[in-house]
Each structure stands twice: as C-alpha cells, then as structure tokens.
C-alpha cells in the first residue's frame, strides 16, 4: 500500500478521476479529495485482481481512516470560518462512515462483498458530496476566505 495517495499510471483502471471543476477552492482539501480518489481507484485494481478479504479489509480500513481524518480537517476549517450548515455537513460525513462500515462488515461475512455495489457507492457518494455539498462552501473554505490558511 505504499502507492496509496500517489497518482495511478494511465494504464491502471480508473473508476474516478479528478477534474479541475471538482475543486472546492482550497488546495489542501482538493489534495485530500485527490488522495481519496486514488484510494478508491486502488480498491478497483484490487477487486479486479481478485484480492482476498483481508487485503480488501486493509484498504477499506485505510479509506475509512483517511476519510475520517479528512472529515475532521474539513469540519475544523468550516468551524473556524463559521460556515453555515456545519451540522448538516457533519451528518453527511457520519452517514458515509456508517455506510463504509457496513461494506467492511459485509466483506468479512461468508457471502462476501459485492464489488460492484461498493464501487458504485464510493464513486456516486464522493462525486455527489464534492460537487453538490462541498462546493457549496467554496466561498467559505476557499483560500481567499478571510480566516487565513488551513494548516494540518
């Protein structure tokens, strides 16, 4: 998993690819989103290679950890800048965490994970969340916002 977060080579299958119009106006948050896309693409590669459930659990745990870290950072920034709708945003994040946990549990059951369901969910949720939810806060979290830079 050393390559997680590193852009995938063009010959690698891609489920979700970063586009500039996904930008939320904050370079750090955009970078987080790019890393999440990379992890999702790595999940696709693993599923196509027939990875076993322990390998899938490892990368799903990595996605959960990274997403939780990203959510905390994003919520901190929104709180610092007093963005409206923070509670609704937090609920959306919590919903994703709960859904990902369900996929992780499903992966450990005898029936196993339904790869297409997982990939469809990850792609839809992240694109919808970034484009329809996060981008609403562009004027608040963008780098031209008055509260200064957002640091790790």
Q: Which residue has the higher pLDDT, 67 or 152?
A: 67
Total-model pTM: 0.84
pLDDT band at residue 5 using 50, 70 and 90 as cut-offs: low
Phi/psi of residue 140, nearest 5 degrees: -90, -45
Phi/psi of residue 62, nearest 5 degrees: -65, -45
pLDDT band at residue 12 using 50, 70 and 90 as cut-offs: low
| CATH classification of the domain holding 117 | 1.20.120.50
Tell me if 75 is assigned to some domain: yes
Residue 14 confidence (pLDDT) above 90: no
Tell me if 149 is assigned to some domain: no
Tell me if 146 is assigned to some domain: no
What CA–CA distance (Å, rounded) separates 65 from 62?
Answer: 5
Q: N- to C-terminal Cα distance for the chain? A: 22
Phi/psi of residue 111, nearest 5 degrees: -70, -25
Interhelix angle 53-80/27-48, nearest 10 degrees? 170
Tell me if 38 is assigned to some domain: yes
5-14, 19-28, 61-70, 99-108: lowest mean pLDDT where?
5-14
3-state secondary structure of 13: coil
Tell me if 95 is assigned to some domain: yes
Instruction: State the CB neighbour count (10 A cutoff) for residue 148.
Output: 9
Tell me if 20 is assigned to some domain: no
Range of the domain at 107: 26-141
User: Total domain count for the chain?
Assistant: 1
Tell me if 21 is assigned to some domain: no
Tell me if 9 is assigned to some domain: no
Model pLDDT for residues 33-86, shown as the tens digit of each residue: 999 999 999 999 999 998 888 999 999 999 999 999 999 999 999 999 999 999
Residue 103 confidence (pLDDT) above 60: yes
Q: Which among 73, 95, 89, 103 has a CA at the least distance from the CA of 135?
A: 89
What CA–CA distance (Å, rounded) separates 28 from 143?
Answer: 9
């Amino acid at each position: 998993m050393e390559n997680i977060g590193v852009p995938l080579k063009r010959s690698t299958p891609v489920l979700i690819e970063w586009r500039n119009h996904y930008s939320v106006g904050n370079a750090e948050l955009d970078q987080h989103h790019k890393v999440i896309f990379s992890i999702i693409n790595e999940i696709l590669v693993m599923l196509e290679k027939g990875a076993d459930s322990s390998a899938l659990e490892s990368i799903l745990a990595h996605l959960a950890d990274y997403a939780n870290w990203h959510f905390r950072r994003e919520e901190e920034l929104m709180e610092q800048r007093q963005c409206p709708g923070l509670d609704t945003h937090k609920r959306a994040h919590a919903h994703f965490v709960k859904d990902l946990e369900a996929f992780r549990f499903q992966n450990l059951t005898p029936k196993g994970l339904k790869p297409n369901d997982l990939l469809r969910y990850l792609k839809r949720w992240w694109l919808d969340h970034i484009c329809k939810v996060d981008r609403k806060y562009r004027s608040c979290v963008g780098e031209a916002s008055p509260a200064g830079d957002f640091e790790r």
